[in-house]
Structure 1
Amino acid sequence: MPTAVASQRRPYRFPPAVTSRLRSLAQLPADLLREHPRPDLLQQCTSAGLRPCATDAFVERVRATGLALADMGLQPGDRVAIMSETRQEWIVADMGIVTARLVTAPIYPTLSGLQARFILQDSGARGVFVSDVAQAEKILAVRHLLPALEFIVVFTDEVPPAAVRGSHTVLRLEGLIERGRALASDPLAVARYEAGIDAVAPDDLFTIIYTSGTTGEPKGVMLTHDNVLSNIAAVIPVLELDSGDVALSYLPLSHVFERMVTYLYLYEGLTVCHAESLDTLARDLQLVQPTVMTGVPRVYEKLHTKIHETVAAGPAFRRRLFDWAVRIGIDASAARHEGRALSPFLKMQEAVADGLVASKIRAKVGGRLRLAVSGSAPLPAHIARFFHAVGVPLIEGYGLTETSPVITVNPRDRPRFGSVGCVVDGVEVAIAEDGEILTRGPHVMKGYWNRPDETAAALSQGGWFHTGDIGTLGDDGFLTITDRKKELLVTSGGKKIAPAPIEALLKRHPLVAEAMIVGEARKFPAVLIVPNFTALEQRLKVLGLPSGSREELVTREDVVSLFHEVVEPLNRDLAQFERLKKLALLPAEFSIATGELTPTLKLRRRVVLERWHGVVERLYEQA
């Protein structure tokens, strides 16, 4: 074990049913048919309403897909990719791949053809499932660079004009399923298929998930069936779900968190509803009325901002009522989390606040949400505190692709806002002398695909995985993340600055939508700020100042002065070397389309610096 300043280990306390029911995820479809037959196992949100899929129909489609794939000359362990938005067909394809003893390599649908080509080539994928013609055309544009790729399966009925291009066959999913249904009448084909499912071992490779690549080239993380099943088992006691719950899924299934939690939902017998897209989330929340959902901080932050903007635009008495109700909710939830009894007066105030304010906010997210989980990036404490105050328990967890993914989760009944919670069952965590968080257990990956040197660097002697995150582990078992080890800025004077906590404080201000600190190898740190233009317009109106285009606003001295007023109070609480000496306003939000955010909405600092290189250079030239 590496030298550590703190450590915690949770013994195995897995529900017996998990280990007895499933030896591998290849057995999940048959388990669903046996344990959770229902008419609405899956539902797809559409403009026309919900499109349900019953358990038996889902399992039959998986079986047909698996039979067809098994008949195409693929060998156990061969890789097949999926490049699609979150939808029912994604799970059908994934389970079909797995039951055919193959390995899934997910690809984010937002990636370009060249980026997809890297994953297909590196994984040696022999086939790829895609959502539509647009995704198929991305692959076809680079097919000449992919000698191992043999077929493309399109989820929609429409396929590119040429059904066969060279040796690359383009199929419809329904056509593949029909092929599998024909094979279902062949006893030998069925026997081989079922024997294959039984032959999948817990330590067999389940998936290769390529990291988003916030820095450097993506690496393929190898996760086994046991990795993911152990994580499902570890999270079950924390989330306390049951078959009466309805889950809304909108995060990319290419991401390990949403994929793991989807199979947890199915294992527990929940109805899983897939949003049509992130753009339709507000509509789909009303359509589904979920009781549970997962998300990333950016989504909850945007919802928090939207609620506050709506209130700010209303009359003064409503703003005062809103502020009062939130304060009461915070006081009441804090008392419950600390195990204190609510006074009769606070109970009465909470009931009034709930009826006048909190219940209306909950209605905006469907009215039934009893649990929301945030992962993938740090969740600001004030965001979690707000949602608890209005009766939407929002808990934060922590993990990585390499850890299947969950390492810690906040307890539902006593969350520690600002922390990422406590270690889950079967997981061990240690803090190294330099502050890096280490973990080991059945959740830790098998390694990086085709990268033995990087595997050896990430997994030290004794099986410890180096997360690359800096944190502290309290005596009470709560883990707190303070920064990324590789994202520390080092000024030309050798001072190390952790940018994430400062950026999080800046983004708490209503005028700030995005913030990124710069200063690597520079004399001092500065900050790039994307204004919340809606809030900025309102502020300018109150001050009697003219409006303008975004490009005009970010260069106006009176507008820049407003943001100096945001930065200066923060500077007073920072160490001298951390203080932000300069700022620049940017006219456009960071986005996936520009490459500044990963598909899981994490900041790609290198890309931001490249895009706004001129702005950064001018900051330091002026100095």
Structure 2
Amino acid sequence: MADPRSTTGTATAIDGRDGFPATVPGLLLDRVSRSPDSVAYLRPDGERWRPSTWTDVRREVFDLAAGLIGRGVDAGSRVAICATTCYRTVVADLAIACAGGATVPIYPATRDDEVRAQIRRAHAVLTVTDRPVAATDILGIDGLDELATEGRRLLRTDPGLVERSIAALSPDDEAALIYTACEDGRTKGACLTHRGTTYGARAVAQTGMISSSDRQLLWLPLAHVFGRSLLLMAVHTGVSTAVDGRADRVTANLRTVRPTFLGSVPHVLEKISRLERDELGGRLRFVISGSARLSEAVARRFERLGVPVLECYGITETSGPSCANLLGAHRPGTVGRPLRGTEVRIADTGELLIRSPGVMTGYHDDPAETAAALDAEGWFHTGDLAEIDADGFVVVTGHRKDTFKTSTGKYVGPTALADRWRRVCPGSELVVAGELRPYCVGLVFTTAPESVVAAALEQLDARSDPWERIRRFVTVSAPPEADDLDPTGRPIRDRVLARYARLVDEMYANGRRAGQDGSRQSNAV
């Protein structure tokens, strides 16, 4: 029987000394050598899906990598990508690694000032984007073709240009710098190495659940470590990947692409769980759910279709998956057991601690946050509360840190939002709900007219990312109960939400459209 407060994956190490490549370019070149003519990617092209083989991918990646080198990208350089997931962004991401650089992936929905801040703080030498961004060294995604043409010219005169950059890479070099939310509303950049980012791909491959005969639909943003993990896992195993980052096309794409497995977040799984098996493509063997807790009802709907849902656990700082349910080792309500090479412990505070090759090296230019998250023994303090059952399955029970995740997998800092609210609407309090929901709603404690509240929310939304915006609100004229206030007089969020649970539920029940079209609805009590 496992120690209920500590467990580990199989002892065999997966750290780059297990016989498999431990750099992103290494994974790619290994795959090209194993199955050069197999279909690597499918991309939408009008009414059809255009295939690319692994040989095609290598050529396109090398052309673009050479172009990046020609533009000054070299070892240690960072290149940002702020664009919807598509075949071009996949090639660009792989090309940055082959040029010796590190990717700074930015969620495409991130507000402009935060995009500029991340580019500046990362010291990115170039930014690839599919939208206008007021920053220097911007390359529109359509400009990638011209850059690849430049690269082909360079390779004609120096055929070994990209190979030399790849050969100079170490597994401990930085592969990605991904910004994630702090409790105070700021962002911090997690530094992920090649060893770390490829670890999850190798660990998942060793479960034996997937093979080169599988096909997946990849729609998640590559700024999401879940999406990056699915991308690299496919490179390592030879899974063919249909790429289309448009979330509103997932249902239609399932029918046409007919994947054998799908990785997704609960918000989208909830929508597609109402489809029939044929509408899911008819070949789906299992679904991987990550980023937030999945409701039991959604899991049961998939089970009735004969499609098991395998919940997993991983966050930005662990480079992707740390724990996972597997076919044949699946326990609903848990996030599974640690993957091979990962150790987990429960601290005396109940916090989940993780140690693995995937754990970040630290937060970029933020020694205080790094020291708070990584201890001297290499354990990463996740901020999540958890338990480990007698069989080693991990159950996430809550959060220590003051952030929550929506069902779309986005982090929200409710205290930071409340602090910003007091600046735009003095004398009132905002309590934000939204954990495991598709969007945020708010309880506003104030006697001010509703028009004043609505105007203040417009100001708050202008300073917030799309997933932080308050889609519905209720004004409460009575002040919070004394038992619901902390010693400073601020509302204790959990107590307030428990007291007003019916109102919160009604906001979601009556406002399903609010999260889809961005409209805001209100009420008062």
State the TM-score, normalized to the length of structure 2. Answer: 0.78
Q: CA deviation at 1:293?
A: 1.1
**Secondary structure of the residue that 2:39 maps to in structure 1?**
coil
Give, in whole Å, the separation in 1 of the partners of 2:157 and 2:350: 59
Amino acid of the structure 2 residue aligned with 1:458:
A
Whole-Å separation in 2 of the counterparts to 1:402 and 1:424: 16
**CA distance in 2 between partners of 1:590 and 1:257 (Å):** 27
Q: Which residue of 1 aligns with 2:226?
A: 257
Letter in 2 for 1:268: T
> 1:242: Cα distance to partner?
0.9
Residue 175 of structure 1 pairs with residue 146 of structure 2: yes
Distance (whole Å) between structure 1 residues aligned to residue 249 and residue 20 of structure 2:
36
Please give the TM-score of this superposition, normalised by the length of structure 1. 0.66
State the secondary structure of the residue aligned to 1:262: helix
1:583 pairs with 2:503: yes
Contact 1:27-1:99 at 8 Å conserved across structures? no
The structure with the largest helix share of the pair is 1
Could you list the per-position Cα deviations for residues 312-356 of structure 1 after superposition, in whole angstroms to 9, with x for gaps in the alignment? xxxxxxxxxxxxxxxxxxxxxxxxxxxxxxxxxxxxxxxxxxxxx
| Contact residue 45 and residue 284 of structure 1 kept, 8 A | no
Q: Does 1:470 align with 2:469?
A: no
Shift of 1:581: 6.6
Q: Percent identity?
A: 31
Alignment of 1:464-503 (within 5 A): 464-487=379-402
Alignment: residue pair count: 449
Moved more, 110-119 or 95-104: 110-119
- Would the aligned equivalents of 1:5 and 1:433 in 2 still touch at CA under 8 Å? no
Give the secondary-structure state (helix, strand or coil) at the position aligned to 1:62: helix
| DSSP 3-state at the match of 1:279 | helix
In structure 2, the CA distance between the partners of 1:419 and 1:276, relative to structure 1 (3 Å rule), is closer
8 A Cα contact 2:14 2:341, kept in partner: no
Asked if 2 retains the 8 angstrom alpha-carbon contact of 1:39 and 1:52, the reply is no
Question: What's the secondary structure of 2:109's corresponding residue?
Answer: coil
Pair 1:386 & 2:320 matched: no
The CA distance in 2 between the partners of 1:235 and 1:581, in whole Å, is 39
Question: Could you tell me which residue of structure 1 aligns to residue 84 of structure 2?
Answer: 85
Cα gap change, 1:68/1:47 in structure 2, threshold over 3 Å: closer, same or farther? Answer: closer
How much has 1:15 moved relative to structure 2?
7.7
Q: CA RMSD in A?
A: 3.3
Match of 2:418 in 1: none
Change (3 A) 1:122 1:381: same
> Which stretch shows the higher mean deviation, 479-488 or 254-263?
479-488
How many angstroms apart in 2 are the aligned matches of 1:438 and 1:385? 30
Q: Partners of 2:229 and 2:496 in 1: how far apart? A: 44
Give the conservation status (yes or no) of the 8 Å contact 2:16–2:195.
Answer: no
Q: Which residue does 2:283 correspond to in 1?
A: 368
Contact 2:220 2:245 in 1 (8 A): no
2:192 matches 1:272: no
Q: Please give the residue correspondences for 1:93-104 in structure 2 after superposition, counting only pairs within 5 Å.
A: 93-104=92-103
Once residues 289 and 214 of structure 1 are traced to their aligned partners in structure 2, the CA distance between those partners, rounded to angstroms, is 40
Matches for 1:610-621 after TM superposition, within 5 Å: 618-619=524-525
1:126-525 equivalences in 2 (<5 Å) = 126-131=125-130, 135=131, 137=132, 139=133, 142-143=134-135, 149=136, 151-156=137-142, 172-187=143-158, 190-211=159-180, 216-238=185-207, 240-275=209-244, 277-304=246-273, 306-307=274-275, 361-487=276-402
C-alpha distance in structure 1 between counterparts of 2:175 and 2:516, whole Å: 28
How far apart are the structure 2 equivalents of 1:457 and 1:102?
Answer: 28
1:292-326 deviation digits (Å, cap 9, x = unpaired): 1100011111223x45xxxxxxxxxxxxxxxxxxx
Query: What is the CA–CA distance in structure 2 between the aligned matches of 1:112 and 1:515, rounded to whole Å?
Result: 17
Runs of 5+ consecutive residues of structure 2 not aligned to the other structure: 404-413, 416-431, 446-470, 476-493
Of the two, which has the highest radius of gyration? 1
User: How far does the alpha carbon of each residue in 1:239-284 deviate from its partner, in whole angstroms, 9 at most, with x for none?
Assistant: 6111111111111122111112111112111111013611111211
CA distance in 2, matches of 1:429, 1:516: 34
Cα distance 1:518–1:483, how it changes in 2: closer, same or farther (>3 A)? farther
| Counterpart contact for 1:6–1:473, Cα < 8 Å | yes
